[in-house]
Amino acid sequence: MDMSAVGSLVALATLALGASPAPMSSRGVVLIFGGTGSLLVALAYVPARAALREAATRLCDDLLPLADADDAATALSRAEERAKLEQTLEVDHNLMTDLQTGLVILGPLLSSAAAAFLPGSTGSG
């Protein structure tokens, strides 16, 4: 399952809860719902991304090992090919600097903050 779709779904549900005129849509409930949604998305996304990154690194090690290069030209050629493969597999991306990952995880929390100030949220509960 695509975690960006899950993050978007939780964000939309949070916005819908915040826009609802029902008593359950108080600011506190909306913020708790969004924070919990962000936490659940992060708990599912981060370990899966780490496992995929580790598998991609092992694949790069298996396909283009640098340790057994005979000469400098071979080592340089493999290093360039490996860098291209790592970029394709997104091994070179850091989780903290990946904006898309951050938006997927923080989307529900950000939408809860926005939904808390929608006109339907009266703050009473």
**Identity of the amino acid at 76:** L
Q: Which tokens is 113 given?
A: 């903050």
pLDDT score for 90: 77
Helix/strand number for the chain, H first, E second: 4, 0
The total number of residues written for the chain in this structure: 125
User: In which residue ranges of the chain is pLDDT below 50?
Assistant: 121-125
pLDDT score for 122: 46
DSSP 8-class letter at 89? T
